[in-house]
Amino acid sequence: MTSSTAQAVCIVTGGSLGIGAAICQLFAQKGYLVFNLDLQAPNELTPSISWRECDVSNVTQVKSIIAHIRTQHPKIDCLISNAGVHLSADIEHTSEDVLDKMFAINVKGAYAAIQGVLPSMVEHQAGSIILMASDQALIAKQNSFAYNLTKSALASMAKTTALDYAKYKIRANAVCPGTIETPLYHNAIDSYLEKSGRDSSEVHAEEAALQPLGRLGQPDEVAQLCYFLASEHAQFITGSLQVIDGGYTAQ
C-alpha cells in the first residue's frame, strides 16, 4: 500500500475479466480499496472491490464516476487503466466506425480516467498511473492495424504524462504484455478457429511455441508487475514501458 494513514485506493478500468480481474484481486488482497469501472459485472463481488458500472468510452461518465469516488475517498493512490478491446484486421478492413470505437475505448477511456484522478494526485503530491499497453506498443503484428495504433498511443500517453506531472511526484508507466491467457486471447483464437477450421489444440500449442519461454503469460503475472509499479519500491520508475512478454520482443 502507498498510504500509511488510511486505506489506499486504487481505481481499475476493465476490472471484471482477465488481467483486470487479477489486478483487482491482488490489490484487494494487499489491502487496497479497489474500484472497478466496467460495463460488465465481475463474477464475484467482495467488500474490498467495489464495482461501478461504467462505459469507459464515455468521457463524461468516467470522470463523473471518479469524481463521485473522490467525494468519499479524496486521495486516489493508484489508477490502472486496463479496459480495452481487440480487433484482428488490416487497414483496408478496418472501417471508420470500428476505428472510432477502438479509440474511444482503448485511448479515450485512459484519457478520461487520467483526467479524473489527476486533481486528487496533484493535490496530494503523489500517485501512480499505470496504462495497459501491449507488446504492440514496441513492435508490429500482422492484421493488427487499429489495436497496434491504440496501444502505441497509450505508450505515448504514459511517457508524456510522466514528464508533465513528475513535478507533482506523480508517476506514469505503461505495462506491455505479450500473449496472456485471458478471455480476450481465447475470443481471438476462437474467431480464428471459426474462420480457418483448424484444430484448437494445435493453434494453442503454436501460440505457446512462439514465445521464447515456451508458454503463454498468465493474468496474475501481469497483476504482480502492476502491484510493483504502484509500490514504494518503484518510486524511481516513471515514463517507462514495462515489457512482460516471455521474451517475444527480444527476438
Q: What is the CATH number of the domain that holds 242?
A: 3.40.50.720
Q: Is 213 within a domain?
A: no
pLDDT tens digits for range 147-161: 999 999 999 999 999
Q: Is 239 within a domain?
A: yes
Reported pTM: 0.94
Asked if the model's pLDDT at residue 241 lies above 50, the reply is: yes
pLDDT tens digits for range 79-110: 999 999 999 999 999 999 999 999 999 999 99
Q: Is 242 within a domain?
A: yes
Q: Which helix (H) or strand (E) holds 153?
A: helix 145-165
Q: Is 228 within a domain?
A: yes
Q: Is 226 within a domain?
A: yes
- Confidence (pLDDT) at 2: 43
Among 223, 251, 183, smallest CA distance to 20 is for 223
- Write the CB contacts of 44 (distance below 8 Å, at least 6 apart in sequence): none
Number of folded domains that form the chain:
1
Residue range 183-202: average pLDDT?
87
Q: What percent of the chain has pLDDT over 70?
A: 98
Q: Is 68 within a domain?
A: yes
Confidence category of residue 123, pLDDT binned at 50, 70, 90? very high
Q: Is 167 within a domain?
A: yes
Compute the chain's Rg from CA coordinates.
18
Q: Which sequence positions are flagged as catalytic? A: 147
What is the signed CA dihedral for 105, 107, 112, 114, rounded to 10 degrees? 130
Asked if the model's pLDDT at residue 1 lies above 60, the reply is: no
Asked if the model's pLDDT at residue 251 lies above 90, the reply is: yes
Residue range 228-249: average pLDDT?
98
Q: How far apart are CA 27 and CA 226, in angstroms?
A: 9
137: containing domain: 9-180+218-250
Q: Is 234 within a domain?
A: yes
- Write the CB contacts of 141 (distance below 8 Å, at least 6 apart in sequence): 148
Beta-bridge partners for 176: 243
DSSP annotation of 217 reads B
CA distances from 229 to 118, 127, 161, 234 (A): 17, 11, 15, 5
* CB atoms inside a 10 Å sphere around CB 53: 12
The length of the chain, given as a count of residues: 251
Q: How far apart are CA 15 and CA 4, in angstroms?
A: 25
